[in-house]
Amino acid sequence: MSKIDEYIAKRSQRSANFAREYKEENQQLQVAVEVHNLRDKLGMSQREFAKLVGKPQSTIARIESGKMNVSINVLNEIADATNQKLTVRFEPITA
């Protein structure tokens, strides 16, 4: 476990608020990376990608920066427009 992982674990044990906020931010960043990687794989600019998925470029920018809590519906729209399959799964938490 890295020092940052240790810090997060200790801080999360001391503060339920920190744990909740960290979890939310981490999820948003994971989505941001996945959407950016998909767009990059398609070789598209944010503007081109936004047009393809029927969203404003500013929405794609907010998603990719992790500043937007993206709904499953929006992720499904992105998946449909890019001929992708959206998968949601539950995984055990590792310590």
Place of tokens 């995984």: 91
Query: How many angstroms separate the CA atoms of 89 and 79, rounded?
Result: 16
Residue 76: the pLDDT is 97
Nearest to 19 by CA among 35, 32, 8: 8
Mean pLDDT for 38-43 is 98
pTM of the entire predicted model: 0.83
Structure tokens at 87: 């998968």
Q: How confident is the model at residue 5 (pLDDT cuts 50, 70, 90)?
A: confident
pLDDT digits (tens, 9 = 90+) for 41-84: 999 999 999 999 999 999 999 999 999 999 999 999 999 999 99
3-state secondary structure of 41: helix
Residue 95: the pLDDT is 61
Residue-range domains of the chain with CATH: 3-82 (1.10.260.40)
DSSP string, 27-67: HHHHHHHHHHHHHHHTT--HHHHHHHHTS-HHHHHHHHHT-
Query: How many angstroms separate the CA atoms of 42 and 24, rounded?
Result: 27
